[in-house]
Amino acid sequence: MSSTTSHLQSEQAAKRQAIADVQTSNYVFPNSAPNGEHTHATEKLNKSHALGLDKHDPIAHLIKQFEIPSNTIYLDGNSLGPLPISAKKAAMDVVEKQWGEDLITSWNKHAWIDLPTTVGDKIAPLIGAEKGQVICCDSISVNLFKLLASALQLNGSQRHIVLSQEDNFPTDLYMVEGLQQMLGTQQCSLLTCDADELETVIVEKGSEISVLMLTHVNFRSGKIHDMQKLTQLAHEQGVLVIWDLAHSAGAVPVDLDSCKVDFAVGCGYKYLNGGPGAPAFIYAAKRHIAKLKQPLTGWMGHANPFTFDPSYSPDMGIKKFLSGTPSVISMAVLSAALDLFERVNMTQIREKSVAMTTFYQQLIAQAPSLSELVLASPNKASIRGSQLAYKHPHAYALCQALIAQGIIADFRAPDILRFGFSPSFLSFEQLFDSVEKLKVIVESEQYKEPEFNRKNAVT
């Protein structure tokens, strides 16, 4: 290895470490050491600690940019972000004025046609990407299909395995299964393993693996993969890498360009607060774009859609990942929601996120009545995203009882009670109050009531 390469690598390692080891100097509370193993504090946290943290929170100004019912503590922004005021205004404007008054002329007049790229360019800095590599479109599932097919073809017919993790979000695995069914196992075959076996499998089966497809922050546990390390290891074996950033974008800093990531996907409705069913995004590294052939060759990905050419010729840039007409209303709403990120940077977001998960973990740990809640997220803040998962035999009923009290968390089968901490709109006081209510629910055994044990279609 040349000294320049090793210098660059140590510089990158230092940068990564800096992202992980954010200093929580703005958020000091007893036992607040941000990245150490969690230990029981000698001093118990109380409401005044929460109020003190809010008083000195440098990004507290963002809270009033959201419209959230006053009797609600929203701990589910990791599943569906709440409504930014700017997004509501944009929704009214795009429906009433742009669609209602300007009709089809809005494609030009309000640049609807450019939304996939303008929104992509707003997402790019949040995920460490230079412009021109990110496009907003479709859902994560559909985008994975496009990227998986493109990557399998790019990496040649000698390799057929798509390696992933057993407990990846199911749709990611389902999309590989669909391709496998279509192409046959000689060209695409899904292999999964446990997270801690990934490195061994990459090395041992490297020559057969075409694509490594992983979710950066696990949807259940919140555990973060080392993106730089796994990407590099995969590349050493000639393997291309796709990262799913569903639980990272807008919550955990990522640096796709400097990690030399090949491809990524992410969604608009979680930490980016783009609303239910907000469109997703695709990242493709500039070095690959010209060579890529994506299979959903719709007219919006054509080099010149409005020549209505009978044969397909792809756009040579990131726009080749478009297929059909963009969902303009949703994309305009997401675009406005993204403007909130002009008021904050990802280091500030991460700093508050680490403080919030650490604070919450400590509040739960100090309550004797909550001892049946078993942490299923990493104990170390540096390797967990902006959420905490707890196992509990009555997780579903506890979640329903919390919702009935205005505290919205979610349940993930079979036994996980999941709390999401979006730094943009939560206060530490709310975190404190929600744990007080959880204590009452557990101590009074309210959650045993039949109404909290009836299953809903969506959890």
Binding site as annotated, residues for pyridoxal 5'-phosphate: 140-141, 169-172, 215, 244, 247, 269, 299, 325
Compute the least distance from the CB of residue 171 to ligand PLP, in Å.
Answer: 5
Query: Residue 266's Cα: distance from chain center in Å?
Result: 6
Six-digit token pair at 356? 């919030």
90 three-class SS: helix
Helices (H), 124-169: 140-154
- List the beta bridge partners of residue 136: 281
174 binds ligand PLP (CB under 6 A): no
What is the spatial distance between Cα 117 and Cα 121, in angstroms, rounded to a whole number?
6
Radius of gyration (Cα) for the chain, nearest Å? 23
Q: Which of 219, 243, 263, 428 binds ligand 3DJ (CB under 6 A)?
A: 219
Compute the least distance from the CB of residue 248 to ligand PLP, in Å.
Answer: 9
224 binds ligand PLP (CB under 6 A): no
Q: Which of 161, 267, 363, 438 binds ligand PLP (CB under 6 A)?
A: 267
Is 428 catalytic? The answer is no
Q: Which of 147, 176, 211, 280 binds ligand PLP (CB under 6 A)?
A: 280
Question: What order of strands is seen across the sheet that includes strand 281-284?
Answer: 134-136, 281-284, 263-266, 240-244, 209-215, 161-165, 189-193
**Phi and psi of 133, rounded to 5°?**
-115, -5
Compute the least distance from the CB of residue 246 to ligand PLP, in Å.
Answer: 3
Q: What residue 458 binds from ligand PLP, ligand 3DJ, none (CB within 5 to 8 A, per partner kind)?
A: ligand 3DJ
Is 244 catalytic? The answer is yes
74 binds ligand 3DJ (CB under 6 A): no
458 binds ligand 3DJ (CB under 6 A): yes
411 binds ligand 3DJ (CB under 6 A): no
**Selected catalytic residue, list 93, 102, 169, 415:** 169
DSSP conformation letters of 28-40: --TT--SSSPP--
Beta pairing, strands 410-412 & 416-420? antiparallel
Place of tokens 């090949």: 262
421 binds ligand 3DJ (CB under 6 A): no
- List the beta bridge partners of residue 83: 67
Which active-site residues does the annotation give?
A: 169, 244, 269-270, 418
Q: Give residues in contact with ligand PLP (CB under 6 A).
A: 139-141, 169, 171-172, 215, 219, 244, 246-247, 267, 280
Q: Give residues in contact with ligand 3DJ (CB under 6 A).
A: 79, 219, 246, 458
